[in-house]
Amino acid sequence: MLIFEKGKEGRGLSLLPECDVEVVLPEEKNRRELALHLPELSENEISRHYTELAKKCHGVNDGFYPLGSCTMKYNPKINEDMAALPGFTEIHPLQPAHTIQGCMEVMKTLEEYLCEITGMTNMTLQPAAGAHGEFTGLLLIKAYHESRGDKKRTKIIVPDSAHGTNPASAVMAGFSVVSIPSGPDGCVDLEKLREAAGDDVAGLMLTNPNTVGLFDKNILEITKIVHECGGQCYYDGANLNAVMGTVRPGDMGFDVIHLNLHKTFSTPHGGGGPGSGPVGCKEHLAQFLPSVLVEGTDELSFKKAENSIGEMKDFYGNFLVVVRALTYVMTLGKEGIPEASQNAVLNANYMMHKLKDLYTMAYDEVCMHEFVMSLSDLKKKTGVSAMDIAKGLLDNGIHPPTMYFPLIVEEALMVEPTETESKETLDEAIQVFRDLYALAGENAEQLHNAPVRTPVTRLDEVGAARHPVLKYEY
């Protein structure tokens, strides 16, 4: 039941005292006449309503969440405690500098740690999400070429295995997109890259490990090809959880990167946000960074970069997410950060190893933090699709892997267990995957109809788009 269908006129909370000054209303021409309908409920009703909604959600706390490319690792509780400190939550963003030294130090410290982890020289914490970071990074590339009077660089090279945000961000930044096909091994096809590389190329966007979970061994050659044609190399940090402490994007030749604090650095996804997408860069791009940079040692202050591209959003980024990420990095430290990545890779390889006799692996070799299975063989044999297996997992309390991504693998399921899952959880999940495989052969119909134990069964998405109902009508 919707919240609008609950409660009664006249119910409500007693939140505020009476107005203690003379009441002033806007003049009639500026006064609201339109009726305003909002729920009228007691606090108990509100509390129960949202508790009911919460029961119809699946968070990392509810169970295994091997959602590829999303890094659904455990969200430590100390992070939440620290983000709730009044010394952070009650601070106005426009307070005088001497009253926000703690906030500045949080920003500066995290910037420094993230630079070290990624091999970058500078970092902005302003972007609010991964896609927002991509847009920011691409604008740095744009500003860089323009500053050199190089106006003909209008293209961004994006592999066909890339996330949809990459091409969309490139267009928002005013570039056109050149899509290059991946090689048969799922990695960048060097020949195709050489063909695309020219004096009209502004840059290349890439993840490494790539979207099929493999480390592209030619990475130094790739970034060299792009640099030699005068382009810049952009690292999409979606998969950084595989390589922290082992490899740094900066050392692979990347000039600019974005990170996802809500993936790699353990901050909660919040059901779709708030996240945080810091952008790091090498020295030659630092002059274009947006927002403010923290300067100084004893007395910290904000400074604008010399040729800043401007503001990507209001204020300095999703600060409370930054607080959580700093708490996490401080907790893990120099040994814990690499150990997290090592175990993420171990868990992925363990699961892959235990499934590959049944499920077809898109690329049967050592994977990084995630692996991609292709269910097209199973579909041919039994009619059971990647979607059906995913829905079958729901009935077993497991959040499905990412489905139908990357686009270069048919009937793809992309599995990313993360490092915070125990061997028992992995073993249980492996058994569920194996049972579902067997069920596909025995009773495909049952999987076509899955899920049946969830609050609702499969929903009519076509109908939803054809006859949109996007709000409750009073």
Partner 1 sequence: MGTYIPGTKQEQKEMLSEIGFGSMDELFGHIPDEVKVKGGLQIPDGMSELEVRKKMTKLAEKNKVFPVIFRGAGAYRHYIPSIVKSVLSKENMMTAYTPYQAEISQGILQSIFEYQTMICEITGMDTSNASVYDGGTAAAESVAMCRERKRAKALISATTDPKVLETVKTYCYGNEMELVIVPQKDGVTDQEALRELIDKTTACVYIQHPNYYGNLEDAQAIGEIAHEAGAKYIMGVNPISLGVVKTPREYGADVAVGEGQPLGLPLAFGGPYVGFMACVSAMTRKLPGRIVGQTTDHNGKTGYVLTLQAREQHIRREKASSNICSNQALCALAVGVYLASVGSEGLKNIAVQCTSKAHYMAKELEGIGYQVENQGEYFHEFVTVSETPAEKVLSALESEGILGGYPLDEHRILWCCTEMNSKEDIDRAVSIIKGV
Identified binder of partner 1 from the candidate list 240, 284, 312, 378, rule CB under 8 A? 312
Complex with partner 1: residue 53 or 441, whichever CB lies closer: 53
Query: 279 has which bridge partners?
Result: 124, 258
Q: Give CA 353 to chain center in angstroms.
A: 27
Q: Is 5 in the site for partner 1 (CB under 8 A)?
A: no
Q: Is the peptide bond before 406 cis (omega within 30 degrees of 0)?
A: yes
Q: Residues 55 to 74: which contact partner 1 by CB under 8 A?
A: 55-62, 65, 67, 70, 72-74
Candidate list 182, 266, 374, 382; residue touching partner 1; CB under 8 A: 266
Specify the residue, 55 or 380, whose C-beta has the smaller distance to partner 1.
55
Closest approach of partner 1 to the CB of residue 379, in Å? 20
Q: For residue 203, list its beta bridge partners.
A: 156, 232
- Residue 2 makes CB contacts below 8 A (sequence gap 6+) with 472
Least Å from the CB of residue 412 to partner 1: 13
Q: Are strands 371-374 and 360-361 parallel, antiparallel or unpaired?
A: antiparallel
Task: Show contacts with partner 1 in window 109-128 (CB under 8 A).
Answer: 113, 116-117, 128
Q: Identify residues 450-469 at the interface with partner 1 (CB under 8 A).
A: 451, 454-461, 463-465, 468-469
The token duo for 122 is: 């500078």
Site residue total, partner 1 (CB under 8 A): 192
For partner 1, which is the closer residue by CB, 246 or 381? 246
- Residues 156 and 175 sit within 8 Å (Cβ to Cβ): yes
Q: What is the dihedral of CA 197, 199, 203, 204, to 10 degrees?
A: 0
- Restricting to residues 172-211, which ones interact with partner 1 according to CB under 8 A? 172-174, 176-177
Q: Which of residues 330-389 bind partner 1 (CB under 8 A)?
A: 330-340, 342-343, 345-347, 349-350, 353, 365-366
Q: What are phi and psi of 214, to 5 degrees?
A: -110, 145
CB of residue 246 vs partner 1: minimum separation in angstroms?
6
Beta carbons within 10 angstroms of residue 23's beta carbon: 6
What is the distance between the alpha carbons of residues 300 and 311, in angstroms, rounded to a whole number?
A: 21
Nearest approach in angstroms of CB 377 to partner 1 is 23
Helices (H), 162-236: 165-172, 190-196, 219-228
Q: Considering beta carbons, is residue 53 or 438 the nearer one to partner 1? A: 53
CA-wise closest residue to 229 among 196, 189, 192: 196
What is the smallest separation between the CB atom of 14 and partner 1, expressed in angstroms? 10
195 touches 179 (CB < 8 A): no
Residues numbered 395 to 424 that lie near partner 1 (CB under 8 A) are 399-400, 405, 419-423
Kindly tell me which of 270 and 441 has the beta carbon lying closer to partner 1.
270
- 337 or 439, CB closer to partner 1? 337
